[in-house]
Amino acid sequence: MRMKNIPLVPLCSAVLLLSWHPQILAGAYFGVETSGNDTTLNFAGAQTEQPLHFGIFVGALSYEYESGNRPVEVKSTFITPTVGYQWRGPISYSLAVGATWNEEEEQRGNRSDSSDDVGAVVQIGAAHWGARNSVEWLASYTDPTEFVWSRLRGKQRVAHVHDEVFMGAELFWMGNDDFSSSGAGALVEARGDVLSVLLKAGVSDSKDSGSGAYGGVEFSVSF
């Protein structure tokens, strides 16, 4: 399967168009994140209503690491459909499993290697959603790349005018044997009845590239 030439804008548009069914879909989202240590993630996704839910996540990740004192550039594109369940309460818990189709290209100097993988993904989460504040933890494990991703976010409502305005912070870690990156940052979110926009900025640290600033923007549509 060849996926590396899929552009981000048509990809996001396709997800949003396919998900525009308010009776079924809970929402859709897309965004981009980049950092000074050469890591960029573009993503889009959609999910059905809970507690039993179906979702799809598509993305493009690029990063660098060193092998034998030589830099290796990695570009990875992936599509991940999942099915899961959420247990609702004062603290909600979620579990989802799915398949992932991934194409990865590694550039080592003048040599380029590419591979196609079909694997499995497990996603877990816990969250508290209040009228004025929220705390959310998400994590995933992807095989066969053994890639782990984890993020903790907290938000507090600071204003309620035309839209609700939230401020908060996040911590994240992602990586495998070849690459790892962690960071902490601040969040500002304007949340409307349908559209929410979140801006984030902070400092990240990569095992090979060192520390640097990161930033990103996320859009989400609720039905």
3-state secondary structure of 158: strand
Q: Which residue has the higher pLDDT, 66 or 152?
A: 152
The whole-number average pLDDT for the span 20-33 is: 74
What pLDDT, on a 0 to 100 scale, did the predictor assign at position 175?
A: 87
pLDDT band, very low/low/confident/very high, at 9 (cuts 50, 70, 90): very low
pLDDT band, very low/low/confident/very high, at 180 (cuts 50, 70, 90): confident
User: CA 140 to CA 125: how far, in whole Å?
Assistant: 9
Lowest mean pLDDT among 25-39, 115-129, 145-159: 25-39
Q: What's the topology of domain 8-222? A: Lipocalin (2.40.128)
CA dist list (Å): 14 to 22, 45, 48, 62, 121: 16, 10, 16, 22, 23
Whether the per-residue pLDDT at 124 is higher than 90: the answer is yes
Whether the per-residue pLDDT at 181 is higher than 80: the answer is yes
CA dist list (Å): 86 to 38, 54, 142: 35, 11, 20
What burial letters (b/e) apply to 164-173, b meaning 16+ CB within 10 Å? bebebebebb
pLDDT band, very low/low/confident/very high, at 25 (cuts 50, 70, 90): low
> What mean pLDDT, rounded, does the chain reach?
84
Predicted TM-score of the model (pTM): 0.81
Domain coordinates in residue numbering, the chain:
8-222
The whole-number average pLDDT for the span 59-79 is: 83
What pLDDT, on a 0 to 100 scale, did the predictor assign at position 57?
A: 92
Query: Which two structure tokens, joined as six digits, stand for 90?
Result: 């004062």
For the stretch 155-174, pLDDT in tens is 999 998 777 999 999 999 98
For the stretch 76-101, pLDDT in tens is 898 999 999 999 999 999 999 999 99
The whole-number average pLDDT for the span 114-127 is: 92
pLDDT band, very low/low/confident/very high, at 125 (cuts 50, 70, 90): very high
Are the beta carbons of 103 and 77 closer than 8 angstroms?
Answer: yes
Cα of 70 vs its chain's centroid, Å: 28
What pLDDT, on a 0 to 100 scale, did the predictor assign at position 37?
A: 59
